[in-house]
Structure 1
C-alpha cells in the first residue's frame, strides 16, 4: 500500500482515511482491518505505531493512536458472592458453559445480573445492527487529538438488558485476555447513548473456567475511555462437584501413542483457556473455514494456526476440503463426545489425552525432565530449533492450568 504514502500523510495531517475498495486491491479489507488484539497488528503497524478503526461502512481511519484496552489487571481472585441456577432448569447447566451466550444466560437466570444492577433487569437487545452517528477522540503518540466521526458502522451486542434506570450492555468473552480493541465496547456504548435517553451502563464480562464471572464497568469520561477497575466485581456460579476429576489421578496414566497425532506439529500455544475457547467455537458449527472463524470470533489468523493445531494434535478436530476446495475444520467423533461432557470432565479427559503423550508425560513429576533424543525425534521436535523452548514452556503452562482447575 506504499502507493498511498500513508506515513507522509500522517506527518502532515495526523490521520489518513482509506476505503475498503482501496484496501481490497492488496488484501481483503475485512481481514486486514479486524485487529482485535494488540499483538495482531501487522508488522508495519507495530513499527510505526499505527492503528485502524472503521468510521463508516466501507471506510477506515489510520492514525498513530492506541485503541487497545489494557486488561492485565483482570486477575483470578476470590469471588464476592456465589449464585445458583434454578434447579428446575435442565437445558442450561452450570458445569457446561461453552459460549458467551450460555454465560450471559446463566448470569441472568441465576440472578447475578439483577444483583450487579441492583434491580430486576430484562434482556431486550442482542445481535448486530448499524450504529447511530457519533464522534469520539483518541490522542496520538504526539498528543494530538484525533477525531473519529463514525456513521453506519456495523456493531454487535452480546447482551443488552433494561431496567427502570438504565440500559445495560455487556460484551462477553470466554477466558481472560491481556488486551482488546476498544471498538467492541466503545461503538455500541456511544451508539446507544445517541439512540436512547436512558443511562447506558456498559460492562466487559469474562467467563473463566470453574464458573467465575468477571464484570468490569466501561465508561467514556471527558472523551477518555476507561475500564473502572475500582468497581471490578467477580461472582461465581455453583457447579456440581466431581470428586474423581483430579490432577492427581492423571499421574498414573498410561502412555498411548495413538491419542495424539505425531504428524501434527507439537503444540506451541501457552493458553489452554484459548484452546478450550477455540474448541467451543468449532463445536457451534458443523464445519468452518479459518477465515470465517476469524471474522466471526475474537481470534487472530496467526493464533488460529497455533490453537487449531493443538486440537488437531489431540484428534478432537479434523481438517478436510469442502466442495469449493477450501480447508474446513470440524469436530471428530472424539471431539463430539468431549463436548457433551461437563466442563470439569471435559478438561480432565483433555488432560488425559495430553499427558498420554510420551514427551508431555515426562513433565508430570518435574518441570525440567531429561527428554531422550529418540522421543523428540518421534514427536518431530527439534531441540536445536528456536521453537523448542516455546514448545516446552507450553507444556509447563498447561500443567499449571490443569493443576489449578483439577485440584
Structure 2
C-alpha cells in the first residue's frame, strides 16, 4: 500500500467515513483532519482514476475541494475517459528559424511544451484566431454551485464551492474567447474534470467572453489537444468533446530503407538474467516515463502517486526501462542511464531510430519484427508466443502470453514510426 492508501485507511476508520457516505450520501472532511495523517495537498488531488487510494477505488468514491480548508467525499463521477482517435491526421508544424531560446527536442515539462506551442503558432491555429497568453497559476475559484452525478445510482448531487483554490496551466485570450488549457506531459487514459471545471466556472463568472476548456497532452513528441464544452454550466458532468487536433513539429520521416539498414548492422545482445523479460505493452508509456525522469529522479511512490501508473504498472514499466538499459535504480530513486540521456539529446528522427535499435538488439523482438516485415503485417500473439517458446527465455507458461502482448505492442510501435 502507498502512503496515501495507509493514511486514508486510518482516516476512514477514525471518522467512520464509509458509514457516513452510506447514510448521508457524502462526508465533509476538514483539511486539518487530513493533515493529522499526511499533508492534505498530497492526499486529495488525484489527476487520474488509477491514482485514487485503494479504499476509494474499492467503494467507488472520489473527493473534491469545497474551499481551501474543506473537502467532500462521495460516490461522485469525477473523471472523464480520454480516447486518442487514430484516424485523426497529425498536422506537421514548422519550427520558426528566428526562435533560438526554445529547444523543441527538449520539451519535458508541461510549461515548456505550452510555451513552445504558443510561441510557434500552434495555439493560434488550434483556435483559428490570434491569441494572447494572459493567465496562469493558482487562484481562488470564487463562489458557485454545481451538480455532479452519483457514480452508483446516477442521481445528481448538489455541491457548493466557496473560494477553493484552482490552478490554470495557461489561459489564451482572443477577441471573443478565453481558452483555458490543462496540460499533461504524458499520454493519459482519463483526467480529473475538476481541473477544467473549476477554472471554467471562475472565469465564466468574471468575464463576458466565452470560456473554452482544453486538455493538452504532449507525448512522443506530439501535441494532442482535446477541445471541450460544458453543455450546462452548472452540471459538472455535462462536459462534451468538441474536437481533437494533433500537431507535431516537422521532422524527417523514418523510411523502411533506414530500418532495413539498421537491422543489417544490429548486434544481438544476450538476455540478462538480472533484468526480467518486460511486461509493459505500451511503448509510448515507456517514452513518457523516461521524459519524466529527465526532469527529476523519482521514487516508485512518486511515479504511482503523481502520474497515470498504479503500483503494479510502476513496477512493470520501470523494469521495462531497465531491460532496455535506459533506467536504473540508485538507492530508492529511479534514474536515467547515460545511454538514455544521450538518446534524448538527439533530434527527433535519430532519437526514434536509436530507440528502435535498442528494442531490436533483443533477439525475440528482432525476429518478430523481421517476420512482420516479410509477411507485411504484425505477427499474431499466437505466432509470437510460439517464437518465444522456442527462444529459451525461461518464461513460464502462465506469463508467456502476457509477455507476448508486450512484444506485439512494441513491434506495433516500431511499425507506426515508419513512413
Instruction: Please tell me the TM-score bracket, short chain as reference.
Output: 0.7 to 0.9
2:8 aligned residue:
none
* 1:52, distance to aligned residue in structure 2 (A): 1.8
Q: Is the 8 A contact 1:170 1:204 kept in 2?
A: yes
**1:280, distance to aligned residue in structure 2 (A):** 0.8
SS at match of 1:231: strand
Structure 1 residue 178 corresponds to structure 2 residue 189: yes
Aligned match of 2:283: 272
- Flag the 1:46–1:248 CA change in 2: closer, same or farther, 3 A: farther
Confirm or deny: 8 A CA contact 2:181 2:216 kept in the other structure: yes
**Larger displacement relative to structure 2 (296-305 or 135-144):** 296-305
Pair 1:14 & 2:25 matched: yes
In structure 2, the CA distance between the partners of 1:360 and 1:188, relative to structure 1 (3 Å rule), is: same
Whether 1:217 and 2:234 are equivalent positions in the alignment is no
Indicate conservation of the 8 Å contact 2:141/2:198, yes or no: yes
Deviation at 1:47, TM superposition (A): 3.7
CA separation in 2, counterparts of 1:81 and 1:40? Answer: 32
Q: Is the 8 A contact 1:85 1:109 kept in 2?
A: no
Of 229-238 and 60-69, the range deviating more from structure 2: 229-238
Higher helix share: 2
For residues 176 and 248 of structure 1, do their structure 2 counterparts lie closer, same or farther at Cα, with a shift above 3 Å needed? farther
Closer, same or farther in 2 for the Cα pair 1:374/1:144, shift >3 Å? closer
Summarize deviations over 1:222-267 as a string: whole Å, max 9, x none: 433444434334445422345588544454432113xx76423332
Which consecutive unaligned segments of at least 5 residues does structure 1 have? 322-326
Which residue of the other structure, out of 71, 74, 86, is the alignment partner of 1:63? 74
Q: 1:338 aligns with which of 325, 330, 343?
A: 343
Query: Deviation at 1:337?
Result: 0.4
**What is the match of residue 34 of structure 1?**
45
Question: What is the TM-score normalised by the length of structure 1?
Answer: 0.83
* Alpha-carbon distance in 1 for matches of 2:153, 2:305: 32
Deviation at 1:138, TM superposition (A): 0.4
Matched, 1:311 2:321: yes
Decide whether the 8 Å contact of 2:28 with 2:72 is kept in 1: yes
Q: Deviations over 1:194-229 (max 9, x none)?
A: 444543222112335364533322435243344443
Q: Provide the rounded CA distance (Å) in 2 between the counterparts of 1:374 and 1:183.
A: 49
Task: Indicate whether 1:376 and 2:393 are aligned.
Answer: yes
Q: Number of aligned residue pairs: give it.
A: 393
Q: Distance in 2 between matches of 1:314 and 1:80?
A: 28
Deviation (angstroms), 1:29: 4.8
User: Secondary structure, in 3 states, of the residue corresponding to 1:232?
Assistant: strand
1:101 is the counterpart of 2:111: yes
User: Does residue 406 in structure 1 map to residue 418 in structure 2?
Assistant: yes
Equivalent residue, structure 2, for 1:255: 268
Aligned Cα RMSD in Å? 3.1
* SS in structure 1 of the partner of residue 46 of structure 2: coil
Alpha-carbon distance change, 21 to 158 in structure 1, aligned in 2, over 3 angstroms: same
Alignment match, 1:324: none
* Equivalent residue for 2:366, pick from 361, 366, 374: 361
Residue 295 of structure 1 deviates from its aligned partner by 5.5
TM-score calculated relative to the size of structure 2? 0.81
